[in-house]
Amino acid sequence: MAGRRLRVISRIVFTVCGLVSLLTAALYAMLQGVDLPYQSEWVIFVVALGLGGLFALLVAVARRAWIARVCHMDGDDPRLFSAPLKWLGGFAAIFYLVALFAYFASHTWNLNPQLMLALCPMYLVKMTFDPSPAGVFFLLAPMNAAVFGSVGLAIGLGSLALGARGRR
């Protein structure tokens, strides 16, 4: 029964992360880098966010047998969903803190916008207007955590798939 709960929770979390990544990609696509000093690389952000979101959604709706086959594991192995969920949680926690850093960093530090947009897609909101601390804590930082949670999911599944091939 615990394995079933883990699978359901994992799929819900994967879905949320994927949808948030796609929503963020759509926001970036609509803005098209307006008034930013680095407009030529703007499409990279949109593509990366979109691919991360699509991958997370694909994993969320894929059959367990397919995921197990790619990872060369048994479908009932608890690591099939727990390992990617741990990676997702780790990345989400780290990049939640990165979003808080991006918000509370002083304007006099002159942070590189290109780097900050890569580390914190929600930094775009800080560049365009100054959100409230409550908005950052409860909306922007969790959205950033979800976006990078998708990256953690991809790394977690990739490590399972490559680790299993190395053991063969």
As a whole number of Å, the end-to-end CA separation of the chain is: 30
Which distant-in-sequence residues (6+ apart) come within 8 Å of 58 by Cβ? 18
Burial class (CB in 10 A: 0-12, 13-18, 19+), 44: middle
Residue 56 has a pLDDT of 93
Give the position of tokens 């192995």: 77
* Of the candidates 50, 9, 8, the residue with the CA atom closest to the CA atom of residue 28: 50
CB burial of 83-117 (b: ≥16 within 10 Å; e: otherwise) equals bbbebbbebbeebbebbbebbeeeeeeebeeeebb
Note down pLDDT in tens along the chain; length 168 residues: 567 888 899 999 999 999 999 998 888 777 765 555 555 567 788 888 899 999 999 999 999 889 888 888 887 888 888 889 999 999 999 999 998 988 888 778 887 777 887 888 877 777 777 788 898 899 889 999 999 999 999 999 888 888 755 455
